[in-house]
Amino acid sequence: MRLPDCAGRSPGRRVAALIIKPAQSASAREAALKALVRYEKDRAYLKLVLPNLTQALPDQEKALAAKLAAGTIQHLNTIDWALRLYAKRELDTFTPWLRNLLRVSAYQLIYLDRVPVYAVVNEAVNLARHYGHRGVAGLTNALLRKLAAEVDQLPWPDPKKEPLDYLVIRYSYPSWLIKRVLERYGFEEAVKWCLANQEKPLFTARVNCLRIKPDELIEKLREEQIEAVHDQMVPDMLIINSGTGKLSRCRSFTEGLFTIQGSSSALVVALLNPQPEEVVIDLCSAPGGKTTHLAERQQDRGVIYAVELHESRISLVEKAAARLGLKSIIIVQGDGREIDSLNLPAADAILVDAPCSGLGVIRRLPEIKWRRSEADLLTFKQLQFELLAAAAGQLRSGGRLMYSVCTTEPEETVQVAEAFLQNNPDFTTLPVFPLLPPPLQPVFKGSQTLTFLPHRHNLDGFFIALWQKIR
């Protein structure tokens, strides 16, 4: 069976061309279509392009546009496989506009039971007619009606005879990644892994306890029509149950009372536990979520050197610190692998939240699974090891070194940790499970390092290791 690994390939021979007419998005479906074309042609991330495309839409339509675009990319393999059954030609022969119009419509037909078929097809035909011509509209109408008529009888691969093919098509992941998941977990748990990485993650926020108490922020957000409750697993974190679309625009956010951040990410700094007056280095600081968390945990009374290689991303750290009212952060432009050339003092603690494949946060960034290859893991592994090696030399005796990545792939996690200890005998592992919040301690009892898995812990996929320099 030929399996589609859909990563926005360049189209081949073009048929049924659509004419692009610049216009404001009149509906959520049109905004989603434009976002998908940007994703494919420009490798753009949805969260960066959707705000401009949905600016004129009401909040409900904005939310729908985001759901349609993200859902289409999340299920891209399945959608393209289904469309091929009825298109009778490779999707690469369509233009990006027609291809993605069919994709977003197929997503609704396959996955959104509450949307009537006639509404999906009519909207798609109208968009095809608006952007193209009668032939495109007719093709769209015929193909989608065929799919709708047989959507409950799609010929899925047999999970017993073709487990890899089944998971790749049924749950929509690249085959190289599913092969690894099957080898690690077996079929039954691989299904759980696939499903967990398609679920909508909790939307969480970190309270800036230097300015407000969690209970006070909950009440303040309620006044702004945003419902929040305490995160029972992670201290000083809130779960946002409603109003997420306006969270970054509300007054409490602009006043610096909280930061939007995932719970796994927040645990990194909590486990490093920086103390007031300590010198801390954040070796890969942008966009600033963990940098500002370090400052808050130190009560803004230490010194944090935020190292960032890319000048274009330094402003993200600056803006985050300014919004939260933090004064202890010193931004240093430079390559973390060359930290000895930056004239920084010996640190009490160093955080290496390293660049990685990001495969632990697929449910937040579905684009990531189509943009990574197995070869990327070794590239990231080398970079991660070089960053840790550089950090080790900048740490004072007795200092703490934290390594974290939002992935669970062995090359970037346990293999990096093992290689670091082999090459740095003056470091010892500090068990992190005793430092976890009480609800998580029984889950990881005895663990030297931490690996959070979405399908086991309902947390973003993360790996965390903590070492101490003993001499």
Surface-to-core class of residue 308, CB atoms within 10 Å of its CB (0-12 exposed, 13-18 middle, 19+ buried): buried
Report the candidate in 370, 331, 377, 323 with the shortest Cα–Cα distance to residue 354.
377
**Size (the chain), residues:** 471
Surface-to-core class of residue 235, CB atoms within 10 Å of its CB (0-12 exposed, 13-18 middle, 19+ buried): middle
Write the single-letter amino acid at 160: K
6, 194, 356, 406: the active-site residue: 406
Which tokens is 317 given?
A: 């750290």
Report the candidate in 313, 101, 324 with the shortest Cα–Cα distance to residue 211.
324
Task: Please enumerate in sequence order all residues whose Cβ is within 8 A of that of 445, keeping only pairs 6 or more positions apart, or say none.
Answer: 433
Report the candidate in 408, 454, 4 with the shortest Cα–Cα distance to residue 201.
454
Vertex 153: Cα angle to 148 and 157 (nearest 5) = 125
Is 250 marked active-site?
A: no
By the 8 A CB rule, do 342 and 334 touch? yes
By the 8 A CB rule, do 30 and 127 touch? yes
Catalytically active residues, by annotation: 406
